[in-house]
Chains A and B, each alone.
Chain A
């Protein structure tokens, strides 16, 4: 369970996540391992860079759902704010929140990819 412990250290509510997966730790981990790939494919940074705000909102929205279900709390909270700000028509603030969460996101990705 090294992976779950590490994620907990990064602020994830893994107990809640495990409960959501009906106590099935193997499945929980398997789904967690799909997250880095999803984050890379769901390119929010690229959408911001291209000024595609609608696209950025949809991508952030998809990641909000997935990270929420996985209880990767810091990312879930970050994407929730990004979506809310974009929806409220505050793209600069949204971008700032997004930039602020990239380092923890990279830590999460590294942690999952490194995990046994």
Chain B
């Protein structure tokens, strides 16, 4: 990309951002600082407030209170509200939001204005973008003549055409099939970083979040629960919600727990009273009412039954995923483990031994989930 055209990435700061829709609180005082040039993914379930947050940054929604600063300029505050067209942002919408009456070329050219004086430059820029997203042959088509993946490429090209320092992505891959998601995810990551813009991307898919992000923010009920690198979120989740939402193979109530010298605990689980398991304690100090043991899929080791270590279990399902096999394993009548990976296939009903890697096991309070 021509460096002279490269936009200056901008920083974004949210301070006490709150948004209410009638009685419903969509955002409950979110504070967040995003440094220029970073790719931030906001991860959360439906209704967690991530779309509202993005729309507030874009200027489509007006916050109820709090301050939004883009590039050190307050764009939303008690006495300020900068209209969306003045914020110098671009956005890729979940439903693509391509204008059906405009061709692909005109859709992409939209952010470049309509001045006839700049037509040549504009055409050149659009040609360049069409090439970069691989849809040059579709330039004269209309949106309803394109597949979902092609439409999303047009939406991406339109956002890049704006040459702005901040690009917003509203679950752009959620309407696509698995293959196209993977392909477009890579293109979004590459092209956005090439463009040098800051990106805020929202999704409910943790694998997408981890694959794309420099930093991941996990939202729940309108609050930002954790904001960190993908590695830290996975290895050091802040609470039970983050742990669950970023993927666990199993979660079990704890029968007994004893603190060890470091941050680790020795834990007894209901399906293996004679075994003890080691887990990293999170917020376990004091008198935590209900403690749960969580294990990541990557921390479960599956082995043949002849091995001495581990807990006896039975395979109840196995699925080939290309790189190996994902198993569902029953450790007793009430508890099981899912997504247990092994390069070796264990057949259904086969007896196996299961052991846990302590670095992928967590002990933490789990409010709302009693002992079962």
Does B bind A? Answer: no
Interface residues of B (CB under 8 A from A): none
